[in-house]
Amino acid sequence: MRILVVEDEPALALRLQKALENASFAVDVSYDGEDGRHLGETEPYDAIVLDLGLPKMDGVSVLQHWRAASVSTPVLLLTARSRWSEKMAGFNAGADDYLTKPFEMEEVIYRVRGLIRRASGHSRPELVCGPLRIDTNAGRVHVHGAPIHLTAQEYRILSYLAHHHDRIVKRTELLEHVYDRHYDSDSNVLEVLLGRVRRKVGGGLIETVRGQGYRLVSKGDV
């Protein structure tokens, strides 16, 4: 899963990036409103963490621009403002959730995971596909009740397919949602990682649909 963090305070932006990467997200960072607006409109993110107090363009204006451009990516607002009227302005602009500074990094991670689940139509933190169980809050994977160890990249691939299970996911879409914007899309690393994930989960759960992409199926070997 791929996240955009738009935060002008470098130390906080770095902390957010590291915390989200440690939670197995791919993360892009922007430090001002204009650059963040451009990235949010042109790159495919699963969720965006957006500070309200940004240089060049404030967070509410950025969010209004995204929604006017039909960008539906779920947005978590970060604000140092405690007045309800200011938070309401964010919600009216199209925010999905907010956190008031200071906050715990773990709470950011939990809220981002929740936004992504709901945006893909899942209300519960556990994703179930046949014998496969993914606890999205804990980042744990089980097959037939046995724990499966995945690297961060492998987990992102499996998690994205699980959030969109039974749907064909094109290679380009998978690349865009499991790597940051600096990834070399001509690399064959994705296929290598998919092969590893297949071997670990077994049961024919991940299908290759020739000429179209990949699909995680719900049937599998129960």
Out of 3.30.70.260, 3.40.50.410, 1.20.140.10, 3.40.50.2300, which CATH number does the structure's domain 2-119 have?
Answer: 3.40.50.2300
> Average pLDDT for consecutive 10-residue bins of the chain (222 residues)?
96 97 94 97 96 94 96 93 77 92 93 93 88 91 94 92 92 88 72 91 87 82 40
Give the per-residue pLDDT at 219. 66
pLDDT score recorded for residue 7:
97
pLDDT of res. 218: 78
Domain with CATH 3.40.50.2300 in the chain: 2-119
- Residue ranges of the chain that CATH labels 1.10.10.10: 126-216
H/E stretch holding 78: strand 75-79
**pLDDT at res. 222:** 38
Per-residue model confidence (pLDDT) at position 83: 72
| CATH tag, 126-216 | 1.10.10.10
Give the CA angle between residues 136, 138, 140 to the nearest 5°: 80
User: Which residues lie closer than 8 Å to 137 by C-beta, 6 or more apart?
Assistant: 110, 113, 125
pLDDT score for 221: 42
pLDDT at 87: 79
pTM (predicted TM-score): 0.87
Cis peptide leading into residue 125 (ω within 30°): no
Nearest CA to 24 among 178, 132, 172? Answer: 178
